């Protein structure tokens, strides 16, 4: 599970824009009810594909040096962020969004082959997706109401 929190962890330096972000790769605790275990963390002022993919690639390379037989066919639960999704695809699968969507489509329609399951599958947190849908729906609702009021004022009065 890759957790990203846009929290300030230190005061930015003079001239530094934006906030300082905290990224953490955590594993589920083997004992039910216990808090997850952070296995690596990153503090960065960047939220881009390159920075996150480099961080993840370096971590996985280091783990492979210590445990060469470890299998990273994980499902990563991530925030609703295109930068995180693409960074995970890049670092874990050497993949892009197009090939990921093609692979996912083949799995969904039943045309899957074993190699489709040899890669990491990033899952976007459903609560974040629902929140994004709610925000978009609210903007659309406001737009439709404003359009209707303008239309009525211009053409029906």
> Is this model's pTM higher than 0.75 or not?
no
Check whether residue 105 and residue 130 sit in a common domain: no
| 119 and 134 together in one domain | no
pLDDT of residue 6: 47
**Which residues have C-beta within 8 Å of that of residue 12, sequence separation ≥ 6?**
18, 19, 20, 45
Nearest-CA neighbor of 59 among 19, 103, 95, 27? 27
Cβ pair 76, 85 in contact under 8 A: no
Specify whether 79 is located in the same domain as 156. no
Looking at the fold, whether 49 and 19 belong to one and the same domain comes out as yes
Q: What is the pLDDT of residues 55-64, one digit of tens each?
A: 988 988 888 8
Query: Do residue 67 and residue 27 come from a single domain?
Result: yes
pLDDT by residue (tens digit) across 3-53? 555 454 556 566 666 677 888 888 888 888 888 888 888 888 888 888 889
Same domain, 141 and 112: no
Say if residue 131 is in the same domain as residue 98: no
Geometric angle at alpha carbon 27, from 43 and 52, rounded to 5°: 35
Same domain assignment for residues 35 and 99 = yes
Whether 6 and 66 map to the same domain: the answer is yes
What burial class does residue 86 get, using C-beta atoms within 10 Å of its C-beta: 0-12 exposed, 13-18 middle, 19+ buried? buried
What is the span of the domain harbouring residue 135? 125-157
**Could you tell me if 117 and 150 lie in one domain?**
no
Name the nearest CA neighbour of 24 among 1, 49, 47: 1
Owner of token pair 């690639």? 57
List residues bridging with 21 in a β-sheet.
Answer: 44
Structural domain count, the chain: 2
- Predicted local distance difference test score (pLDDT) of residue 85: 87
Does residue 85 share a domain with residue 21? yes
pLDDT digits (tens, 9 = 90+) for 88-118: 888 888 888 898 888 888 888 888 776 666 7
What is the distance between the alpha carbons of residues 157 and 154, in angstroms, rounded to a whole number? 6
Same domain, 97 and 141: no
């Amino acid at each position: 599970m890759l957790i990203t929190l846009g929290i300030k962890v230190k005061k930015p330096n003079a001239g530094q824009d934006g906030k300082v972000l905290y990224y953490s790769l955590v594993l589920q605790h083997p004992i039910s009810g216990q808090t997850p275990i952070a296995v690596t963390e990153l503090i960065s002022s960047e939220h881009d594909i390159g920075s996150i993919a480099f961080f993840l690639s370096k971590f996985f390379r280091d783990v492979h040096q210590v445990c060469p037989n470890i299998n990273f066919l994980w499902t990563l639960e991530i925030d609703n962020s295109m930068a995180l999704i693409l960074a995970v695809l890049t670092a874990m699968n050497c993949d892009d969004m197009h090939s990921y969507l093609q692979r996912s489509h083949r799995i969904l329609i039943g045309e899957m082959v074993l190699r489709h399951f040899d890669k990491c599958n990033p899952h976007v947190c459903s609560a974040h997706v629902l929140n994004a849908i709610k925000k978009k729906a609210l903007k659309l609702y406001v737009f439709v109401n404003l359009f209707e009021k303008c239309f009525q004022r211009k053409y029906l009065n």
